[in-house]
Amino acid sequence: MDARWEKVRAIVLNMVERCAVCGQRFSVEDLHALGRSRSTWAFRLTCQFCGASSLIAAVIDEEQLREARIPERAEPVTERDVEEIRAFLEHFDGDFQRLFGYSGGGSPSWSE
Ligand SMILES: [Zn+2]
């Protein structure tokens, strides 16, 4: 597993911070890595309080990764993460636009 996943997770968690549905703070365990394409990293974010789930695509370049600070309590990547990535990559062809349902000008829907 790429060690950069932990940095990217920390960055993403820093960006989303709170659940849009119930307002609770997200934790690292809520963020499950799905896959990456160059500098785009895909995650599934599931709120442990209300169960709201969403897909997140973070565009993070190498420079940001070098500068990123890893929180001291970094969680190890779990087997479940690996399984999710495997399942994701089996079907993912790199087309993030299709993944997130872009339909030319329309705003994407993040909820499922
Ligand atoms: Zn919630």
Count of domains for the chain: 1
Q: Which sign does the torsion angle of CA 104, 112, 95, 91 carry?
A: negative
Query: What is the 16 CA–ligand 1 centroid distance (Å)?
Result: 12
- Distance from residue 28's CA to the centre of ligand 1 (Å): 14
Residue type, 25: R
Residue 2 to residue 13: CA distance in whole angstroms = 18
Question: 21 C-alpha vs ligand 1 centroid, how far in Å?
Answer: 5
CA dist 1 and 102 (Å) reads 30
pLDDT per residue of the chain (112 residues) written in tens, 0 to 9 = 567 888 899 889 988 889 999 999 999 899 999 999 888 999 999 999 999 999 999 998 888 888 776 655 556 778 888 888 888 888 778 777 777 776 655 555 555 5
- Count of CB atoms situated within 10 Å of the CB of 48: 12
| pTM to 2 decimal places | 0.55
Q: Which two tokens stand for residue 23?
A: 């307002």
The tokens for 95 are 């087309």
- In-domain check, residue 112: no
Q: Which domain holds residue 83?
A: 1-98
For residue 38, being part of any structural domain is answered with yes
